[in-house]
Chain A
Amino acid sequence: DTGVSQDPRHKITKRGQNVTFRCDPISEHNRLYWYRQTLGQGPEFLTYFQNEAQLEKSRLLSDRFSAERPKGSFSTLEIQRTEQGDSAMYLCASRASGADTDTQYFGPGTRLTVL
């Protein structure tokens, strides 16, 4: 299977701890997105990478959140000093470049629970 993969699938942490999530996009997809989804809501955009460049960040992405995509391959999303309000599903999506390739393909998500 060559879809988007995310690791870990589940993470339980205590308030104040730091957590890091990883996303591996579909091979040769140069565009990568992070979204956050809470219960009963649709996914909300967090940030966007084209290759290794972070081109857009949502105002939802406070200074406790940081994302990287070294060498334009996998991406990591780090949350520092976690709060209970950070509990959510964190979704990664990737997309190919080109005029007819607007579709974003999502990974299985990482479920974060902050105690």
Chain B
Amino acid sequence: EDQVTQSPEALRLQEGESSSLNCSYTVSGLRGLFWYRQDPGKGPEFLFTLYSAGEEKEKERLKATLTKKESFLHITAPKPEDSATYLCAVRGGSNYKLTFGKGTLLTVNP
């Protein structure tokens, strides 16, 4: 069974203080690793899809990287509007579904 563990559960940063979120996974035959952002009371908003170890993708202040066992979401010089829960999910083998971690709640203080 696919498993995803995210750490830390919560992270509080000052504006401009860069950091990284971790997503560790076990999956039989990775078909894709996905990062989403979720604001309170809303549905997850797609950020990145990574397919193979060594792959990196960037969008504004965010950069996602992938190894064979984990993925990192690096946040550079965050702003208060980056405050949200960041969810990591995997799709493995012949599964149709995504398996999600519990998320990391990021708070960026001005």
Contacts and interface: CB of A to CB of B under 8 A. Distances in A.
Contacts of A55: 96
Secondary structure at the B interface, as helix, strand, loop or mixed, is strand
Contact of A33 (B45, B49, B97): B97
Given A42-B87, A42-B89, A42-B103, A104 B98 contact: yes
B3 to A, nearest CB: 12
A105 B46 contact: yes
A44 B43 contact: no
Interface string A17-48: 00000000000000101010000111111001
Nearest to A43: B100
8 contacts: A33-B98, A42-B87, A42-B101, A44-B100, A106-B43, A106-B44, A106-B46, A111-B41
Interface residues of B, number: 24
Interface string A39-80: 011111100100000011010000000000000000000000
B44 A43 contact: yes
